[in-house]
Amino acid sequence: MKFSIILISFLFTAIHTIFCQVTIEGKIVNEKKLPIVGANIYLKGTYEGSTSDEKGNFSISTGLPTDKTIVISFIGYKTQEIAVEPGKEKVSFTVILKENDEQIGEVVITAGQFEAGDEKKSFIMSTLEMVTSGSSVGDIYGAINSLPGLSVANEEGGLLVRGGEQYETKTFIDGMQVESPLTAKLPNVPARGRFSPMLFRGTVFSTGGYSAEYGEALSSALILNTTAIPKKNETDFCINSTGLYFSKTNQWENTSLAAISQYGNMKPYFKLTNPDIEWKDDPVSFNQTVVFRQKTGKNGLLKGMGTYGYENSSLYYYNVDNKNFDLVSTRNHNVLMMCTYKNELGNNWIIQSGVSFCYDNTNLGYNYNTLKNRIGSAEIKTALFKPLGKSVNLNFGFNTYIKDYIRTYAPTDIDTSSYHWQYQQITGSFFVETEIKLSKRISMRTGGRFEYHTLLKQKIVSPRFCIAYKVSPNSQFSGCYGQFSEQPQDENLVYNHLLHTENAEHYIVNYQYTGDKRIFRIEAYYKNYDHLVKYDSLYSVYPESYNNTGYGYAMGIDVFFRDNKTIKNGDYWISYSLMDSKRNYRDDQFSQTPYFISTHNLSVVYKHYFNVIGSYLSAEYNFASGRPYINPNNGFKQQHTIPYHNLSMSYYHFTKLFGKFFMFYCQVSNIPGFNQVFGYRYSKQPNADGIYESVPIKSIAKRFFFLGFYMSLEAKPEF
């Protein structure tokens, strides 16, 4: 398993502060010598930075070497870079920012997006924050679950966004869609992300109303961008309670090559902790990633990435009907190969193109019956960007996505033939968007996406529209409308090739304030679903059992507040979501609240760095109101589980060992041991007393402990 072995890379941004602190301070003003509040100041190529206060002042204490470049940016002004002389313990300067009339900078459309790692917008969750999140254990998807608009997904994994299921969120790496971003799934065992957060320079997480560049997602898009060429050779090694990790990076003038090997084996950990699940084969995994980067010309960059993953596990799953244990197993092989290219063309054109291939083979066993799912996908994509004058930006492109899906069922009975289903789908799409600055206070983005599905024989036109109004230098209102579509899930489409795409409409209104190292955001949304897939039975293989008569809605309010000023060396955020949703889909007999919806969801996250002892502490509390479930002993009416509580903590300590950089870390989830129930499984028939027997759906263990240490084998690792 890949439980958090990449957390160790947090070392690169914190450990050096133990040995050498440098203070960089100054003041940011405009051409009239008035202070600029909320300007973004950071060390280029790192995640260390600050924002200017109400007087335009800022201060950064860093352990990084001072032969760095300081970048200063603010919406509506030209970005400046200042080289810092090496060897100084204190650096002071005043920067005069000039207004920028050549690009849309006064207003940034924020509705539906939480963005990190984008230098032009406010940081909300960086790569560093994802790997150190108290409850994520190094999983990108687990860390994002602390943001508003999401439901607790502890027994499922992935993201449940604003009333949407896991499959309604799509993951994109460098603009390319990833077919299988999550690990293989066993009953009540959460899937995790296949990729390390440290492969990426940041995330754009859209909870709705996302760009027309991205499709095939009813609810949200997780957009990940990989890092550029590193500056130094690196060799890293880690041992933890779930496995081993080793990475090696070689860097040349315009080229780099990195190899990352990960091995996970949960058997030693489960021997010590005695989980609630009885495993026949404890989870074992192996992952190998190779990343190649090559600069081309002045600004061009070619990236190539290849990954191979293997997983194997099996467990005994209690059967409520016969009171025995069924053997459920999974074995998965996954391959992803991707090559992308980005460069500037003549006359201010920017091109980004790529090709990708994904192969995912999963064998699911049930009492020695075998269900094999094989997915092969390929994508070709080109996107072009160009500013048209001072007030208009144009973004357009096209892509072709090919998917081949094969399902085979092999019963135990040797006299019974196996069953085989297959489909192939080619989706061609074209998108176009323009962002128009109507004035210094108003900006608008409008466009759409056209798709044609060969298997469904269906054409889809999806318009998108957003507008933003800047109320003050630090606050603005935004609004979005969009239509989104997604082809039916594989397990439905493989039996009926003529199903319609599932559709959703998004309506979003947003207010955001950013300034003085604080962010406040409130957003209201409404989603209308139609053409959802319904079926007679979950296991039906007959085409006539499937149709597109399902429908539903989801609406709510999300609130987010972050403050990294009030407490010195401290940073905290609070997110809250109020959610209401009902659907009539799948095998539902009437419209009802989906089983994964909690009306109230709350996350409180606090992080603190103790400079004196070289330690970092992170704590996170999560709350969710009870989930709905159908109780056949109560007239098949909906009831609710007990509320969900979780308190997690992480601790990191930095030092030197044998002259090498060394880090010890520890994470614990659900410290108080709260009883967490996500629903119930009931027997199909009542017992002799007329009672439908049940078992609760819980986490695989009440608590999870994660211990490990990391060492950099290079004397001076790249920060």
pLDDT given for residue 488 in this prediction: 95
298 dihedral zone (left: phi>0; alpha: psi -120 to 50; beta) = alpha
* Better-predicted residue by pLDDT, 90 or 602: 602
Instruction: Kindly report, residue by residue over 588-612, the tens digit of the pLDDT.
Output: 989 999 999 999 999 999 988 887 7
Alpha-carbon distance 173 to 307, whole Å? 13
Task: Identify whether the C-beta of residue 628 lies closer than 8 Å to the C-beta of residue 640.
Answer: yes
pLDDT given for residue 281 in this prediction: 94
**pLDDT band with cut points at 50, 70 and 90 for residue 118:** very low
pTM for this one?
0.83
Nearest to 264 by CA among 89, 2, 500: 2
Strands 220-226 and 169-173: parallel
H or E element at residue 555:
strand 546-563
* Better-predicted residue by pLDDT, 412 or 475: 475
The answer on pLDDT for 102 being more than 80 is: no
- 623-644: average pLDDT: 92
535 Cβ neighbours under 8 A, 6+ residues apart: 492, 545, 546, 547, 586, 587
Task: Identify whether the C-beta of residue 64 lies closer than 8 Å to the C-beta of residue 46.
Answer: yes
Instruction: Kindly report, residue by residue over 541-600, the tens digit of the pLDDT.
Output: 999 999 999 999 999 999 999 998 899 888 899 999 999 999 999 999 899 999 999 999
* Phi, psi torsion values for 127, nearest 5 degrees: -60, -40
**pLDDT band with cut points at 50, 70 and 90 for residue 20:** very low
pLDDT given for residue 412 in this prediction: 72
688 dihedral zone (left: phi>0; alpha: psi -120 to 50; beta) = alpha
* Phi, psi torsion values for 200, nearest 5 degrees: -120, 150
pLDDT given for residue 405 in this prediction: 96
Instruction: Kindly report, residue by residue over 30-57, the tens digit of the pLDDT.
Output: 888 888 877 878 776 554 667 787 678 8
Task: Identify whether the C-beta of residue 467 lies closer than 8 Å to the C-beta of residue 441.
Answer: no
Q: What share of the chain is helix, strand, coil (3-state, %, to 5)?
A: 5, 55, 35
Secondary structure of 471-535 in the HEC alphabet?
A: EECCEEEEEEEEEEEECCCHHHHCCCCCCCCEEEEEEEEEEEEEECCEEEEEEEEEEEEEEEEEE
* Phi, psi torsion values for 361, nearest 5 degrees: -125, 115
Residues present in the chain in total? 719
Alpha-carbon distance 8 to 16, whole Å? 14
Token pair of 311 as six digits: 């997983």
Alpha-carbon distance 307 to 324, whole Å? 39
The answer on pLDDT for 411 being more than 90 is: no
SS3 269: helix
Instruction: Kindly report, residue by residue over 266-323, the tens digit of the pLDDT.
Output: 999 888 888 888 899 999 999 999 999 999 888 889 999 999 999 999 999 999 998 9
Instruction: Kindly report, residue by residue over 354-369, the tens digit of the pLDDT.
Output: 999 999 999 999 998 9
Half-sphere exposure of 538 (CA within 13 A, CB side): 1
Domain architecture of the chain: domains with CATH: 8-96 (2.60.40.4130), 111-712 (2.40.170.20)
